[in-house]
Amino acid sequence: MKHVFTPIYKSILKRREIAAFLFCSLYPLLASAVSLFQSGLKGMTHGRKLSFLEYWSINVQTQWQLAIPILLLAYAVTTVFYTEIHSGILFLYKDLDKKLIFKAKVWSLIKILGIFTGLTFLVSLLSYYTLMLSQTYISGHLFPDNWSIIQMSLLTILSRLIIYVIVILLVSVLSSRYNNSISVLAGLFFMLLANVAPQLPLGRYFFPTGYVGTGMHFLFALILMCLVSSVYIVAAYALGLKKFEQIEF
């Protein structure tokens, strides 16, 4: 698969929408320089001091709620699938197994998501120990003393990362048939549902984000989150692969 993955990954990485998506990883640095963001952070501490893990978690959450990264990622997925299908670019891969092409595209996008997550972590670390460290509500510690806060922060970060993965797969399914606008809006709509889910009595259990702050035991919440996520991921991946194999190019 490597001989297929490498050229596809490199071609996707060069796209402008991918560059814009990766640029969003600078959000923690840009936000930390804004006094309004700092005031908001101070209001969230309730007299405590924020550790790096909490700061990173807050950045992931606010970055995700802006919806810009999701929009850019969803649009990138549509160009990788819908645009290439209808522009005839995929004809260049006509001698390759369609299953391999689909896997290479999906894994390339997930790898780019991994780069985005890693960059967000590094930028958060940099901004925490440079721009934010002098603030009175910053502890300077990597982890908080409260174990429940550690659990909530980890679940928050993981659930948002999972939503990104699901959006990649969901949009890849739709892009095989529908145009860019419909696919991007569907990805955004799923993100909005995942954002609202924690406020719903029963609906929260159908989305990975709903298991953050439920009061469940950490391990139990993590297992349920992974099970629910697996249903979305396996179903979307299988359907996307099936749709892609049916395409003629």
pLDDT at 118: 97
Q: What is the pTM of this model?
A: 0.92
Q: Do 52 and 124 meet the contact criterion of CB atoms below 8 Å apart? A: yes
Q: Is the sign of the CA dihedral 179, 180, 183, 185 positive or negative?
A: negative
Per-run averaged pLDDT (10 residues), the chain, 249 residues: 81 94 93 67 71 94 90 94 75 74 94 97 95 87 91 95 97 89 94 87 87 86 96 96 82
pLDDT at 39: 62
Query: Tokens for 16?
Result: 């402008």
Beta-bridge partner residues of 50: 138
pLDDT at 92: 60
| Three-class DSSP category at 138 | strand
* 77: CB partners within 8 A, 6+ apart: 109, 167, 168, 171, 172, 175, 183, 187
Query: Tokens for 6?
Result: 């490498």
pLDDT at 82: 83
- Return d(Cα 30, Cα 83) in angstroms, integer: 32
| Three-class DSSP category at 97 | coil
- Return d(Cα 147, Cα 96) in angstroms, integer: 50
pLDDT at 20: 96
Q: How far is CA 188 from CA 115, 193, 195, 214, 238, in A?
A: 21, 9, 10, 24, 21
- Return d(Cα 112, Cα 14) in angstroms, integer: 11
